[in-house]
Structure 1
Amino acid sequence: MDAACLQYGLTEEERRTFNETGYLIVENALAPEQVAAMTREVDRIYEQKLNEGHDASKAMFYTDFIKDHPLFLDLVDYGKILPKVWGILGWNIYMYHTHMIVTPPSGQAKSDKSFGWHQDSGRANREMESPRPRLSLKVAYFLSDLSVPDRGNFWIVPNSHLQDTMPLSADGQGQPAGAIPVCVKPGTAVFFDRRLWHAASPNWSDVTRKVVFYGYGYRWIRRKDDMTMVDRLLEQAGPIRRQMLGDGTSCNGYYTPTDEDVPLREWLKEQGLPV
């Protein structure tokens, strides 16, 4: 990695914000030209999925997309963002999950029905002791203008990441106390703890919502995507990107890593940083 990325390291204020609220907003993470180029590729993939039979009235949820264009692959170890990821989780990490969401206008009248509130990681939330550990986080890069509500915004309950349950209204109407829509401009990156209670919302506007998510977790967590072309991607990758793509020397190396397993740790040492 270019040592210039260290200027984007996690600040103490950002650490405090993330630890206390469960999320962090980083504006202008992507330059306008990056947003434009990525939007073209998202549109291309969306059009392809429509041609393959995807229902145009429903949101497209598409995983394992980093193989589809170098622009997506370059965000795996993006210099403006990865330093904040390792600042939160440490160096024994990799990218275990990606998904792209395109949410077209719903054409439906706005309602008060509660959204699908959840924490990430599925069965992990039922099979671990309380309080649940962080384990992972996601970074969402927003490509559409979601600076106002009702555009299919991502909703969150700030400070809820330390709660194992989220009380909802008994009649299924309305949102949990303290719930807010995340309103951001194109190019914004939003970090969120996997435990943060969050939900997708209907798109009641005439603007199509486009966002890509990158999930980072500890290397001993299983990959959530099939990563169908990971071998080809590894052949083209440098050491730290290989780590982010899940490379390792042995199964035990995910639990007790050698220097070869975690080149990020060695690179941080070379920069004189504590590990």
Structure 2
Amino acid sequence: MDESCLQYALTEEEKKTFEETGYLIVENALTADQVTTLTAVVDDIYASQKNAGHDPEKALFYPNFIPESDQFVNLVDYDKILPKVWGILGWNIYLYHAHLIVTPPSGQEKNDKTFGWHQDSGRVNVEMESHPRPRLSIKVAYFLSDVSVPDRGNFWVVPGSHLNDNLERPTDGVGQPEGAIPICVKPGTAVFFDRRLWHTATPNWSDVTRKVLFYGYGYRWIRTKDDMTVQTLWEKSDPIRRQLLGDGVNCNGHYSPSDEDVPLRVWLREHSPVQAK
């Protein structure tokens, strides 16, 4: 990892925003060329899935997409983003979940039905004995399509709701929770969000197909959330990328890591000692 990545470290202002709202928007995280290249790969995957029988009128949820292209692999330890990830979670991290979503126009008329609000991680939200619930993981969403205006399948959030274990929804199933807003961003934007943040997908009422890549980072003692096959990438990866792709010395090293388990910590000791604690 090149030391120049430290210029993208999480700032105090960014940290404050993330801690208070549960999300952080980083504009121009991807260049226009990166967006074009990544979009072409996503389009190929989508075409392949349609040929395999995917209903083109429904959103495509496609997990374990990282091995499909080096372009995806290169974002695992992307220099503009990873320093902010370890700035939030620390160094004992890896990519525990990844999926891409393509949301074509729904062809439906817009309505005010309450969306499917949720926190990520399923049973974690039932079985963890704490309040507020623990953060455990975050996601970074790279937007490849223009969702800078509402109704394009934007994901919605309730800012600050990551500290609430419950969310009050309209009892009649019409309208959205108080304070709910759509995330409206341009192509190339990265959006970080706490897994506890109450959020939801929404219908795409526009004529623009929405395309997003989601990278989920969590602590190394968390199990993967999908059947990831990234182990095939270990041999050609450098040590830090191997860590982020789930490599380690043994199972105990996920809980009590040695330097061999977490080369990211070793690198931080030399280049950013405060972050290595």
DSSP 3-state at the match of 2:47: helix
Matching residue's letter, 1:199: T
Matching residue's letter, 1:193: D
The residue number in structure 1 matching 2:41 is: 41
1:232 Cα offset (Å): 2.0
Q: Can you list the C-alpha shifts for 1:41-91, whole angstroms capped at 9, x where unaligned?
A: 000000000000000110000000010000000000000000000000000
Map residues 1-275 of structure 1 onto 2, 5 A cutoff: 1-131=1-131, 132-228=133-229, 230-274=230-274, 275=276
DSSP 3-state at the match of 2:125: helix
1:227 Cα offset (Å): 1.5
Task: Flag structure 2 segments of 5+ consecutive residues without an equivalent.
Answer: none
Distance 1:129 1:111 in 2: 38
User: Is contact 1:130-1:164 (8 Å) kept?
Assistant: no
1:129 Cα offset (Å): 1.5
Point out 4+ residue stretches in structure 1 off by more than 6 angstroms. none
Q: Can you list the C-alpha shifts for 1:169-222, whole angstroms capped at 9, x where unaligned?
A: 111110000000000000000000000000000000000000000000000000
Distance 2:85 2:49 in 1: 31
Distance 2:122 2:157 in 1: 17
DSSP 3-state at the match of 1:28: coil
Percent sequence identity is 71
Distance 1:227 1:127 in 2: 24
Distance 1:96 1:159 in 2: 24
- Superposed CA RMSD in Å reads 0.6
Aligned length: 274
TM-score scaled by length of structure 1 = 0.99
Matching residue's letter, 2:145: S
1:272 Cα offset (Å): 4.2
User: Is contact 1:91-1:262 (8 Å) kept?
Assistant: yes
Distance 1:242 1:221 in 2: 16
Task: Flag structure 1 segments of 5+ consecutive residues without an equivalent.
Answer: none
1:234 Cα offset (Å): 0.4
Distance 2:182 2:137 in 1: 22
1:136 Cα offset (Å): 0.3
Distance 2:143 2:202 in 1: 15
Matching residue's letter, 1:184: V
